Structure formats: structure tokens, C-alpha cells
């Protein structure tokens, strides 16, 4: 009887592993909704450009862009702003990930991709690790096998702050915290 139980458990384990490796979840085609910037924070919409905000009294611009696929934030910054990858610095965002910063002629740029769980990710490697960690959580596995969720959620909110003034790393972290709370609330 004990051998049958062991054999059954091994079969279940192999089925789970097989499903994980033979049925990869494709990136979802839906987009993450950009949260509203709280008025008390001071940002104001910049004209007709959706997802672009300015901070009155300071030369700072915030751009929010939903992403729905695996990408590398460093490469995106390098290509968009014409800077070398070696000029980019990765800085920690507490225990919730990293953000990139770089000095350009347009000003200092702070950027990261924010997930609905509050994780900030700036590199492809972090992105993959975050998704694999999420896929291994029991609630994700159950939701996947019941058809309620994908193993991986590729959506995140790419945000860039470009400042010609003294917008500090701490201000960027505060902004990330506010946006993370709103994303989490919107995801529920």
C-alpha cells in the first residue's frame, strides 16, 4: 500500500512538472492600467499626451507606459536616450527590486518597470526571476490548473522620470511607493 501511495505522489509531481515545462503561458495581450497620479503629489497631466505628467515649478517629466512583454529596461533606456549601457546605474528599491538611473544632456533619468505586487524591475534577468518566483507560488499554480490565471503575468508599468532639477532618488522611491499602492488596489 505504501508503494502505491509513493507511486501516486510521484505521478502527481511529474504531472505538475510536465505542465510547467510543456505548457508555457504566453504573454497576456491585455495591458496594465496606468494609475492616476494623486493631485496632492503635485504632478499634472502634460497636454494631450496620455501618460505624461509634469511637476509644476520644477523641470521634471514623468512618463507612464504599460508593457505587456518580456523586455530589458536597460536596453530600452540605452536605445531611447542614446546612452551606453555602461553609463546606467542600477540602484536598489528596498527589498522590492531595482531601478535604473543615468545622467543625460536632457537631465537625470530614473526608470523602472513596476508590477502590481510592488516589485520594481529594471533588467531582463530580474524580470524572468520575478516571473519564475511568482509561477512557483501555490496560489498561482492552483489558479493556473483551474484555468483562472497564467503562470506568468508579463504586464508591468514602465515609468521614467526625467529631471533637470534636483529630483532626488528618495523622491523617485516615494513616487514608486504611491504608484505601487495604486496598481495593487487597481489589480484587486
Alpha-carbon span 28 to 134, nearest angstrom: 15
Quick one: which of 87, 67, 62 has its CA closest to 174? 62
Please provide the average confidence, as pLDDT, over all residues in the chain: 76
In this predicted model, what pLDDT tens digit does every residue of 71-95 receive, in sequence order? 788 888 888 888 888 999 999 998 8
2 CB-contact burial (10 Å; exposed 0-12 / middle 13-18 / buried 19+): exposed
- Percent over 70 (pLDDT), the chain: 72
The count of domains in the chain is 1
Where is average pLDDT lowest: 3-7, 127-131, 138-142, 157-161?
Answer: 3-7
Residue 4: pLDDT band (50, 70, 90) is: low
Task: Please compute the mean of the pLDDT values over residues 8-22 and round it to a whole number.
Answer: 49
In this predicted model, what pLDDT tens digit does every residue of 17-62 receive, in sequence order? 554 544 444 444 445 556 566 555 566 666 655 577 777 777 788 8
- pTM attached to this predicted model: 0.72
In this predicted model, what pLDDT tens digit does every residue of 134-166 receive, in sequence order? 888 888 888 888 888 787 777 888 889 988 877
Q: Which domain holds residue 8?
A: 2-187
pLDDT at 99 (0 to 100) = 93
pLDDT at 181 (0 to 100) = 82
Alpha-carbon span 82 to 64, nearest angstrom: 19
Give backbone dihedrals phi and psi of 171, rounded to 5 degrees, phi first: -65, -40
Amino acid at each position: 500500500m505504501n508503494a502505491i501511495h509513493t507511486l501516486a505522489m510521484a505521478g502527481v509531481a511529474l504531472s505538475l512538472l510536465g505542465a510547467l515545462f510543456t505548457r508555457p503561458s504566453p504573454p497576456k495581450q491585455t495591458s496594465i492600467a496606468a494609475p492616476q497620479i494623486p493631485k496632492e503629489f503635485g504632478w499634472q497631466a502634460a497636454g494631450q499626451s496620455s501618460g505624461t505628467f509634469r511637476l509644476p515649478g520644477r523641470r521634471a517629466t514623468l512618463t507612464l507606459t504599460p508593457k505587456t512583454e518580456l523586455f530589458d529596461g536597460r536596453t530600452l533606456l540605452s536605445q531611447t536616450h542614446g546612452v551606453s549601457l555602461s553609463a546606467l546605474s542600477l540602484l536598489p528599491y528596498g527589498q522590492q527590486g531595482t531601478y535604473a538611473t543615468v545622467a543625460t544632456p536632457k537631465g537625470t533619468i530614473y526608470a523602472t518597470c513596476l508590477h502590481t505586487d510592488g516589485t520594481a524591475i529594471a533588467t531582463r534577468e530580474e524580470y524572468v526571476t520575478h516571473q519564475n518566483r511568482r509561477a512557483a507560488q501555490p496560489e498561482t499554480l492552483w489558479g493556473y490548473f483551474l484555468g483562472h490565471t497564467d503562470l506568468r503575468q508579463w504586464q508591468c508599468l514602465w515609468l521614467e522620470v526625467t529631471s533637470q532639477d534636483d529630483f532626488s532618488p528618495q523622491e523617485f522611491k516615494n513616487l514608486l511607493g504611491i504608484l505601487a499602492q495604486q496598481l495593487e488596489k487597481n489589480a484587486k
